[in-house]
Amino acid sequence: MKRLRSPLSGTLRIYLVKVGDLVQPDTEVAVIDSMKMEIPVLAEYAGRVSALLADPAAMIDEGQPLVELES
Amino acid sequence: MSWEKELEEIARRRELALQMGGTQKVARQHAAGKLSVRERIDQLLDPGSFREVGTLAGAARYEGPELVEFVPANQVAGRGTISGRPVAVVGDDFTVRGGAADASIYEKLLYPERLAHDLRMPIVRLVDGTGGGGSVRTLESMGFTYVPALPGWHILDGNLSRVPVIGLALGSVAGLGAARVAASHYSLMVSDTAQIFAAGPPVVAHTGQTVTKEELGGSQLHARNGTVDDEVGSEHAAFERVRSFLSYLPRSVWELPARSPSDDDPQRQEAFLISTVPRDERKVYATRPILGAIADRGSFFEIGRLWGRSTICGLARFNGVACAVLASDPYHYGGAWTRASSEKLTRMVDLAETFHLPIVHLVDVPGFQVGVDAERAATIRAGVRAMAAIERSTVPWCTILVRKCFGVAGAANRPSGRLSMRYAWPSGSWGSLPIAGGLEAAYRAELDAAPDPRAKRAEIEARLNAVTSPLRSAERFSVEEIIDPRDTRRVICEFADLAVHALTPGPSRQGYRP
């Protein structure tokens, strides 16, 4: 099991994946509002989404887990 | 009378040295997914080029005049060539006492460093061992304690200002081993089989932290915090990266980087560049395809991909000229300078200054990272250090203003006190402050007095936006040229052609600090 972490702090605008989706490296999994921009979070690993770990509109810290993947 | 007998004895001892820690220990090394030190050296260097020094050094045991046991010193050292150019190499032998320093011969460890230092060639350290002190068991054999010192460290340190130094972590490395990896221009660790720490899990357990060695010092951590520049998936990949890295650099600071022949048209245009930056400034774009498109085909070599990620750093060739590349990555804080990206940028500019690489800087910088996290991280301290590196650099400089260029970090798009060549894309947008961020503060009274503040704000914003065209900046020579993005490769290749004639070999004014 692997976790995709936010590479930056900001506000979680939206998830672009749902539980059960397959992601590949560089799949956009979420969008974070930061530095007045909409910044996509790219998957670092491949896997199937088993859980979304943050609430939309939540403040996100750098390094905070956003998505749990089953490999 | 000949000396056959002595030669036979030398051959016998050489044979013993080649066995390293013995069949079992070497098998254990392989089972751990690691190569032996001699396999590493063979894979790193050009075939047949290794010239070993100190083959016969080690711990011998005699019965009468007879040698009955020989354990080689646990560093293998010498020189060889990589792509035909000489390099010094030193590798720890983990199969002999776990690479611990108390089974080494310090002079032998220093020899390759002196070789690199005095005969001016790069050095590659294959580190796979513990610290300098070895084990507390040595207290009993020595019968005294000593104030810690690193005899010869001035040679290792001096090498940083003289020759390319590469540190590879190829196993669990602690203490002095960790320092020998980090005190380098370029460092790598192999994921899963290499860990780096000041002290390992058993020592850390005394502080109440129970962690595995991978949790404590694996590449998941250290390739992402800048302890090392990059992680690689295998030792073979590490050696490939070493060969590539060295291909961009001169043998020493007294030479200039070699210019490679290039068959890539310096006027080559890539159509996507005209539309790669979105018109909506809230949207991001990928920087690496831009770098791939403008550099000589296949020549962009990224350094530090996983840390300080809002700035992409690397080496690349433009019309065959090796250059250092700095570029913003809007996927990370919109390209803003963070503490880590400032440190990475400092390291890259210092490398370029040390080894005479012209610098190409692609800028999309909204400023420093802002917010509580940024302040907590002491971002401005690292930021002004990066600015000092830029300001004090003397190598030719070329800036491409791709999009945003704001604030103090934006002003550091080039050194302020000397000429740089600078080109903006039509997507350029710059100022002391972005309008959206500064408008309320600047027009507070006007907004408060308005019957409809929202309408007033829109009106003011439209007024300000009307003067933000980069063409107005060009009228005042605030930006020198605005170019078709598809011409970026051409203008940088032209810069590189000019820059090679403005490089001066020799030590840089300030020594390199790792």
The model's pLDDT over B467-506, given as tens digits with 9 standing for 90+, comes to: 888 999 999 999 999 999 999 999 999 999 999 999 999 9
CB contact under 8 A, B282 and A36: yes
Minimal CA separation from B226 to chain A, in Å: 15
What pLDDT shows up at residue B1?
Answer: 77
CB contact under 8 A, A37 and B282: yes
* Number of residues in chain B: 514
Provide, as residue numbers in chain B, all residues whose Cβ is less than 8 Å from the Cβ of A62.
Answer: 373
Average pLDDT over every residue of B35-56: 97
Q: Does A62 touch chain B (CB under 8 A)?
A: yes
Interface test with B, best of A37, A39, A44, A61 (most B CBs within 10 A): A37
Domain borders along chain B are: 34-57+73-247, 271-433+469-502
CA B420 to chain centre: 24
CA distance A48 to B6: 67
CB contact under 8 A, B331 and A40: yes
Q: Least CB-CB distance to A39: which of B331, B373, B437?
A: B331
Q: What is the residue range of A18's domain?
A: 2-70
Least confident of B201-205, B246-250, B299-303: B201-205
CB contact under 8 A, B281 and A37: yes
Average pLDDT value over all residues in chain B: 94
Domain total in chain A: 1
Provide, as residue numbers in chain B, all residues whose Cβ is less than 8 Å from the Cβ of A64.
Answer: none
Task: List the structure tokens of B259.
Answer: 């210019």
CB contact under 8 A, A39 and B373: no
> Coil, strand, or helix at residue B296?
coil
Rg, chain B, Cα only: 27
Q: Least CB-CB distance to B333: which of A35, A38, A40?
A: A35
What pLDDT shows up at residue A58?
Answer: 93
Minimal CA separation from B253 to chain A, in Å: 37
Percent of chain B with pLDDT over 70: 98
- Which pLDDT band, with edges at 50, 70 and 90, does B131 fall under? low
| Topology (CATH) of B271-433+469-502 | 2-enoyl-CoA Hydratase; Chain A, domain 1 (3.90.226)
Provide, as residue numbers in chain B, all residues whose Cβ is less than 8 Å from the Cβ of A7.
Answer: 309, 331-332
| Topology (CATH) of B34-57+73-247 | 2-enoyl-CoA Hydratase; Chain A, domain 1 (3.90.226)
Whether this model's ipTM surpasses 0.85 comes out as yes
pLDDT at B203 over 70: yes
Nearest by Cα to B363 from B338, B399, B310: B399
Average pLDDT over every residue of A41-62: 94
Q: Does A39 touch chain B (CB under 8 A)?
A: yes
What pLDDT shows up at residue B510?
Answer: 85
CA distance B327 to B313: 6
What pLDDT shows up at residue B467?
Answer: 87
pLDDT digit string, tens, across residues B330-370 = 999 999 999 999 999 999 999 999 999 999 999 999 999 99
Average pLDDT over every residue of B313-330: 98
Amino acid at A17: V
pLDDT at B447 over 80: yes
What pLDDT shows up at residue A21?
Answer: 96
- Which pLDDT band, with edges at 50, 70 and 90, does B130 fall under? low
Provide, as residue numbers in chain B, all residues whose Cβ is less than 8 Å from the Cβ of A42.
Answer: 331
What pLDDT shows up at residue B132?
Answer: 61
pLDDT at B54 over 70: yes
CA distance B359 to B322: 9
More confident: B465 or B86: B86
More confident: B437 or B172: B172
- C-alpha distance from residue B246 to each of A7, A28, A46, B128, B215 (Å): 30, 35, 33, 21, 31
pLDDT at B134 over 70: no
Nearest by Cα to B181 from B224, B135, B121, B223: B223
What pLDDT shows up at residue B141?
Answer: 82
CA B255 to chain centre: 20
CB contact under 8 A, A34 and B334: yes
What pLDDT shows up at residue A36?
Answer: 87
Interface test with A, best of B332, B404, B439 (most A CBs within 10 A): B332
For residue A25, the domain's CATH number is 2.40.50.100
Q: Does A55 touch chain B (CB under 8 A)?
A: no
Q: What are phi and psi of A30, to 5 degrees?
A: -160, 170
Contacts of B120 (CB under 8 A, 6+ apart): B162, B163, B251, B252, B254
Percent of chain B with pLDDT over 90: 86
Task: List the structure tokens of B384.
Answer: 């002004």
- Helix, strand, coil shares, percent, chain B, to 5: 40, 20, 40
Q: Least CB-CB distance to A7: which of B309, B366, B370?
A: B309
pLDDT at B25 over 90: yes
pLDDT digit string, tens, across residues B62-89 = 999 999 999 999 999 999 999 999 999 9
Q: Are B317 and B291 in contact (CB under 8 A)?
A: no
Minimal CA separation from B283 to chain A, in Å: 6
CA distance B478 to B480: 6
CB contact under 8 A, A42 and B331: yes
Amino acid at B439: L
Which residues in B95-217 belong to E strands, given as ranges? Answer: 123-127, 165-169, 172-174, 186-190, 195-197
- Closest residue on chain B to A37 (Cα): B282
**Fold agreement between B34-57+73-247 and B271-433+469-502:** yes
Q: Does A40 touch chain B (CB under 8 A)?
A: yes
> Coil, strand, or helix at residue B55?
coil
Surface-to-core class of residue B373, CB atoms within 10 Å of its CB (0-12 exposed, 13-18 middle, 19+ buried): middle
Minimal CA separation from A9 to chain B, in Å: 8
pLDDT digit string, tens, across residues B409-446 = 999 999 999 999 999 999 999 987 778 778 888 899 99
Q: What crossing angle do the helices spanning B339-355 and B379-392 adopt, rounded to 10°?
A: 20
CA distance B59 to B72: 6
Q: Does A34 touch chain B (CB under 8 A)?
A: yes
pLDDT at B100 over 80: no
Interface test with B, best of A35, A44, A61, A64 (most B CBs within 10 A): A35
